[in-house]
Amino acid sequence: ETIFWKPSLQTDSQGKAQVSFFLSDAVTSFRATVEGFGGGAAGRGDAVVGSKLPVSLAAKLPLEVTNGDVVELPVVITNATFRGFDANVNAQVGAAFTAKEVLSSKVHLDPSQTKTVYYNLTVVGNGAEPKDGRVALSAEGGHLTDSMERTLRVVPAGFPREENAAGTLTGSATASEEI
């Protein structure tokens, strides 16, 4: 998609020109291409303009956890601004998890700095209620925020087991199972 087009841009005596245009607020990259000719020669140039959040939060969460697991949850906070600030990082977890410490941290981020905080969680749920696997994370500071929320699948300890029997029954039978 083209977001800006100027087919007849005039340069100054040093061959320079300035343009301005609005970009989408999507977190993505945009390619700028300039083509022109003058003085009997043609020229072309490309540049990539990246759009990113001023502060961002990311966490690598497992797809599934098992009752009894201990999860060391890394939460990565990135300051993409040119100013330092203090961020409050918070985690809220569903009933399937317990934590030994408070799920809140205060982090100072210098300009263009990334830091990681860790939260230790123990899985105490059995997966009966899917909403109990909720993990919500947020980072807030200097009027900037980012957040994410996921629901992890919680499964009981052990492996699923299934037994089948087939045949013809004549008379009576009993069955027992040892686990």
CA distance 14 to 32: 21
pLDDT average, residue stretch 124-136: 91
pLDDT average, residue stretch 81-90: 93
- pLDDT of 60 > 80? The answer is yes
CA distance 164 to 120: 41
Q: Which of 93-97, 125-129, 146-150 has the lowest mean pLDDT?
A: 125-129
pLDDT score of 135 = 96
Residue carrying the six token digits 């008379």: 171
pLDDT score of 59 = 94
Given the DSSP bridges, would you call strands 29-38 and 41-50 parallel, antiparallel or unpaired? antiparallel
- pLDDT of 147 > 90? The answer is yes
CA distance 70 to 123: 6
pLDDT average, residue stretch 131-149: 93
134 burial (CB, 10 Å; 0-12 / 13-18 / 19+) is middle
pLDDT score of 93 = 95
pLDDT score of 3 = 82
CA distance 91 to 117: 11
**pTM of full prediction above 0.85:** no
